Amino acid sequence: MTTHSVPRQGNAERCLDNLVVAVLLFDAELRLLHMNGSAEDLLGLSSRALCGEPVGRVLPDLPELQGLIARARSSGQICTERDVILRRDALRPTVVDVTAHVFEDTQGEAAVLEIVNVDRHHRIMRDETMLTQRNVTSALLRGMAHEVKNPLGGIRGAAQLLERELADDARCEYTRIIIQEVDRLHKLIDRMLGPTLPPARVPTNVHEVLEHVRSLVTADTTHGIRILRDYDPSLPEFVGDADQLVQAVLNLVRNSVQALAGTQGPTITLRTRPQRMVTIGACLHRLCIHIEVIDNGPGIPSELEQTVFYPMVSGREGGSGLGLPLAQALVHRQGGSMGFHSRPGLTCFSIWLPVGNSSDEPA
């Protein structure tokens, strides 16, 4: 941040709003002049509503800030406080780095705060790792599918020929079992490979998708599980495939239903929020729809957290381990991203879906 005169209205605000980093601008008395869109999104606050308010009211859960600004003012240097806990979200505190710079311009002294979401950077690196792992796994599965399907076809054909030669119905039952098991393995391989048809690209209402999932699960569930809705009605439509998104969310909700077995007061919450400046892969999206599937179950075992999206990995006895990988593949095919955080008593799976493509740019 340079120390020359900085205009505080018009072009300056538009420049700040284009930054991924959360930026807050204060006057000499530490009253808010402006916060950019990334700051509004990170803090869940409105710049217009809080303009003119003191820093202690704007950021009451960051008492370190006044001392940080005082150090920057006295030293004339840029000062940074790392790994500060921001508790805006009751579900999960956010770890941030806060940088303060106090300078003089033609309108007097001003202070700039930059808040970097450390969790966001960790998520971007995790997404890149997961994408690489998914590509490697997909290539491995395609090769395995080719090697397995060919002998399965031969086994099925031989069983059908043998069935024609057998006059004894009791013995024919054995060949029918062989054919059924071959067909089951064939379907399992197809599920592991994921969808083959390209996703549709039509305007889709995310709440219609979630309500459809909710009705399906409510009809199938008899465990007394409450499914709560926490929707943001202001969300716009996105361009995507409603059927594939239904399948992805349905897999997440069914996983939650299974995880809640034996939980007292089992609850699943479907939550939607807008989120700005989200990086997915190598692309920065100005606006994304953030979907969360939250349950109050026992949480994901720590030994599974690094492999939970791998095929055939399941924390449940008898589970196929295909629900989460398939959900992730369906979301990725629509240009979105998936992630999760978990602890005992709370597990949250997140889906980010970009809204529009016209304003997206390389991160």
Q: How far apart are CA 319 and CA 267, in angstroms?
A: 21
Tell me, what amino acid is at 288?
C
286-312: per-residue pLDDT in tens?
A: 889 999 999 999 988 888 877 777 766
Amino acid making up residue 16: L
* Cα–Cα dist 134/326, whole Å: 11
* pLDDT-flagged residues of the chain (< 70): 1-14, 87-93, 106, 119-146, 190-197, 221-222, 282, 311-321, 357-363
In the prediction, which pLDDT does 288 show?
92
Report the alpha-carbon distance of residue 283 to residue 361 in Å, rounded: 6
Q: How far apart are CA 308 and CA 312, in angstroms?
A: 9
Nearest to 117 by CA among 46, 25, 21, 41: 21
Give the gyration radius of the chain's Cα atoms: 26
Amino acid at 338: M
pLDDT at residue 61, rounded to an integer: 73
In this structure, the number of other CB atoms found within 10 A of the CB of residue 347 comes to 23
pLDDT of residue 266: 92
Among 9, 86, 103, 75, CA closest to 44: 86
pLDDT in tens, 17-42: 777 788 988 988 889 988 888 888 77
Does the CA dihedral 355-358-362-363 come out positive or negative? negative
CB 14 within 8 A of CB 34: no
pLDDT score at 233: 92
> What burial letters (b/e) apply to 164-185, b meaning 16+ CB within 10 Å?
eeeeeeeeeeebeebbeebeee
Phi-psi region of 356 (alpha: psi -120 to 50; beta: other; left: phi over 0): left
pLDDT at 289: 95
CA distance 290 to 273: 5
Q: Which helix (H) or strand (E) holds 113?
A: strand 108-117
The predicted pLDDT at position 121 comes to 63
pTM score, whole prediction = 0.61
Take residue 277 and report the two structure tokens written for it: 């400046």
Is-contact 341 308, C-beta < 8 A?
no
- What is the pLDDT, as a whole number, of residue 359? 42
